A and B are shown apart, each in its own frame.
Chain A
Amino acid sequence: YELTQPPSVSVSPGQTARITCSGDALANQHVYWYQQKPGQAPVLVIYKDSERPSGTPERFSGSSSGTTGTLTISGVQAEDEADFYCQSADNRGTYVFGSGTKVTVL
């Protein structure tokens, strides 16, 4: 199965960025979000649709409805510029990543 993300999102500092992740599997499964900066390994920022791991800034939030999950970055900062990937898993343990969204802070 597939997860579809927009290739890019541009946002001015202090504004809100929203990244969507769409796929039929999300109707029954949770969505997870990762941030990856150039030359670094990904970092988990949201799990189970809307939960923040310790260390994730409060400006990152997540939601899910129907077949679409959304990652929201409120009050975007320059340091948030990165690639973001959604991920899900089915009940048989098969995982999938979305195609990735590049967030550019103008």
Chain B
Amino acid sequence: QVQLVQSGTEVRKPGASVKVSCKASGYTFIAFYIHWVRQAPGQGLEWMGWIYPHSGATKYSKKFQGRVTMTRDTSISTAHMELSSLRSDDTAVYYCARGGAYSGYEIDSWGQGTLVTVSS
């Protein structure tokens, strides 16, 4: 079965960077997009961008362009999301998720989420 297992909770100070990992299993890693979606406490879902593991191509939300970098290591079926210049409003649960096998535009599997807390 499809599994996405994310790295653990992170605490950072404002201005620092954080890198979250997402290890995929149960499917062909390079064949499906990996999306990153975040959710601030008590708030809705916010799409950050995707990476296509086969080519490494990326697409970022305009909101995060310049601050986010998505990479992958195909040898270990793992995707990474690095967010820099952290602010307190970046405190959120960050999810990696797989682009869909149905029509291509849905997100059909999600990681368990990684809590990132930004606090001085």
Q: Which residue of A lies closest to B110 (CB)?
A: A41
1/0 per residue B61-92: CB within 8 Å of A? 10000000000000000000000000000000
Q: B103 touching A47 by the CB < 8 A rule? A: yes
Task: Choose among B61, B100, B102, B113 the residue that contacts A41 (Cβ–Cβ < 8 A).
Answer: B113
Task: Choose among B37, B102, B110 the residue that contacts A53 (Cβ–Cβ < 8 A).
Answer: B102
What CA separation (Å) do A87 and B44 show in the bound complex? 12
- Indicate if A60 sits at the interface (CB-CB under 8 A): no
Task: Choose among B44, B59, B106 the residue that contacts A47 (Cβ–Cβ < 8 A).
Answer: B106
Instruction: Give the interface residue-count category, chain B.
Output: 20 to 34
Q: B102 touching A48 by the CB < 8 A rule? A: yes
- Indicate if B53 sits at the interface (CB-CB under 8 A): no
List residues of chain A with CB within 8 A of the CB of B17.
Answer: none
Q: B45 touching A85 by the CB < 8 A rule? A: yes
Q: B106 touching A100 by the CB < 8 A rule? A: no
What CA separation (Å) do A34 and B97 show in the bound complex? 13
List residues of chain B with CB within 8 A of the CB of A85.
Answer: 44-45
1/0 per residue A49-76: CB within 8 Å of B? 0010100000000000000000000000
Residues of B within 8 A of A (CB): 35, 37, 44-47, 50, 59, 61, 95, 97, 100, 102-103, 105-108, 110-113
Q: Which 6 A-B pairs have the closest CB atoms?
A: A41-B110, A100-B44, A47-B106, A95-B47, A97-B45, A89-B105
Contacts A/B (CB < 8 Å), 24 sampled: A32-B105, A32-B106, A34-B45, A36-B45, A41-B95, A41-B97, A41-B110, A41-B111, A41-B113, A42-B107, A42-B110, A47-B102, A47-B105, A53-B102, A85-B45, A93-B50, A93-B59, A95-B50, A95-B61, A96-B47, A97-B37, A97-B44, A97-B45, A97-B47
Q: A41-B110, A87-B106 are in contact. List 14 more A-B contacts (CB 8 A).
A: A34-B107, A43-B110, A44-B100, A47-B103, A47-B106, A48-B102, A51-B102, A87-B45, A88-B105, A89-B105, A92-B59, A95-B105, A97-B44, A98-B44
